[in-house]
A = this chain, B = another copy of it.
């Protein structure tokens, strides 16, 4: 009755916990090893099922990752929705917005790092990420325009292009920081530095 029995959103009454167990087992494994080094065998074992049972729930590892991505971006969007629009203290508003990404992705560091890698290869991930991040870019751009109209932001030739660049920065900074790459920002500095660059770029000064 519902979609194909193998699809990832089967919403089957029972077996639902299995699906959840698989996702969690995968995330747990991801904390210690890269996706390429994790065999489906191990995910299945972590979820207490056999390897072929895994295939009943997901067509591949990548599909599990897509599920993980969905959860994370949904949470980001939910939290962003509660923030509203910039008020008297725009720096605080930007900081809060950026903080949502730092917090949500920071809670799933290994998944974030894996996502950044797998996105290049897996079309579904790539498309889903494109959809979501396009919305964030547009949100940023329209806020910049609004701030400009209020006379607070500096003159920016192409607000959309600028917001693409700023969002790209956040993404890469977070991944590098989570992945403990070098050079990378210390976890405690990420939010401060990103907010500083954003505000300076948008207003010409870090404290508008």
Contact = CB atoms under 8 A, between A and B. Distances in A.
Interface of A: 34, 36, 113-114, 116-117, 120-121, 126, 130, 133-134, 137, 154, 157-158, 161-162, 164-169, 171-173, 176, 179, 181-185, 189, 193-194, 196-197, 200-201, 204-205
- Centre residue among A130, A158, A168 by max chain B CB count within 10 A: A168
Given A130-B183, A183-B137, A169 B176 contact: no
Nearest to A193: B161
Given A158-B189, A181-B130, A183-B134, A197 B117 contact: no
Given A197-B165, A200-B201, A182 B121 contact: no
Given A34-B121, A120-B117, A189-B158, A173 B165 contact: yes
Number of this chain's copies in the assembly equals 2
A165 B167 CA distance: 11
Given A130-B183, A161-B189, 20 more contacts: A34-B121, A113-B120, A117-B117, A117-B120, A126-B181, A130-B181, A133-B183, A134-B183, A137-B183, A154-B205, A157-B196, A161-B193, A162-B193, A164-B185, A165-B169, A166-B169, A168-B169, A169-B173, A200-B201, A204-B205
